[in-house]
Amino acid sequence: MLRCQRFSTQVQLHRNTEISAIVTKTALVTGAAGFIGSHLCDRLLADGYSVTGIDDLSSGRRENLSANFDLRVMDIRSGEIHEVIADVRPDFVFHLAAQISVSISAREPRLDADVNVGGALNLLEGIRALDYKSVKVVYITSGGTAYGEPAVVPADESTPVHPLSPYGASKYAVEMYLPIYERLCDLEYSIIRLANVYGPRQDPHGEAGVVAIFSEAMLVGKPLTVFGDGTDERDYVYVGDVVEAISLAAVNSATGPYNIGTGIGTTTDRIFELIAQYSGHTDSIVHGPARPGDIKRISLDASKAKRELGWLPQVSLEDGLNTTVEWFRQQAD
């Protein structure tokens, strides 16, 4: 009798394994080794997805991902993208890879469009070649660059789109292609427009956000200059909350766009003060000339995401900044 029970248990385990294999969803994440992309990969793996990443490592870091993570190192414009898509046959595609420098986009708008628009089209054509395979695309973009400097804040999704840089224009252009590809092939999509994202793993170099720049500089004693008078306002949202919104959009049939932010504008001076408090920095704020073209005030109304996705930010600015500073402290040790 024991032998029969054991055999029955083995059969049930085998059936459970088969069922698990059937329901496992596959995800392809572009920009997987980047700040937001790596956090998203962690979340998808924890949720039971089979995840493959694409990144050319121009700004992403391999160490942001687990040692055995399936990362395909290539440019988003490469023809190899089609081979990866055919190999993985993803149920979900999360598109984060982009040329992210606003200053580079101004100097080299054709390069910016080639990467951001051409790369996205290359990805979408790879999905289109899957024939009857249904795919959900979640496109992650910037709310601040889409709306420019809106007359009313916080800006909701009905705010006119008014990019102030080639980068903003190229990112918005991809939004226009998504409904076209919805008609061309069996593709669903959602659009996520992010506020200023911050948190662990953000790169403090290049055109990084002020949270990463301030955190690293204060912990190692580098001099800091705040551009302008410090009263400019941004909407700061923690990376963990962003990943939650992206995950919710993936399993929701609504297309968006969805603003993901707190709806609260925080001045650069206030960010400086909080990070100084958590890092033990005691130097006074030094202000320099304002940078031409910087937006004075932007925040995003995320009421639509609350209503349709059930999303609300959970991490307060104070808790998020403290966590971020502690992560940078560990990197400095």
Residue 259 CA to residue 85 CA, distance in Å, equals: 28
167 is catalytic: yes
Q: Report residue 173 as tokens.
A: 């252009």
Instruction: Answer for the pair 59, 123: CB distance below 8 angstroms, yes or no.
Output: no
Which one of 167, 172, 198, 238 is the catalytic residue? 167
Instruction: Answer for the pair 227, 233: CB distance below 8 angstroms, yes or no.
Output: no
Work out whether strand 233-234 and strand 266-267 pair parallel, antiparallel, or are unpaired.
antiparallel
Q: Report residue 139 as tokens.
A: 């496109």
Instruction: Answer for the pair 254, 188: CB distance below 8 angstroms, yes or no.
Output: no
Detail the DSSP E strand segments found in 147-214: 187-194, 196-198
H-run or E-run covering 329: helix 317-332
Residue 73 CA to residue 70 CA, distance in Å, equals: 10
Nearest to 48 by CA among 21, 86, 12: 21
Strand order of the β-sheet with 50-55 is 70-73, 50-55, 26-30, 92-95, 135-142, 187-194, 258-260
Q: Would you please indicate which residues are annotated as catalytic (active-site) residues?
A: 167
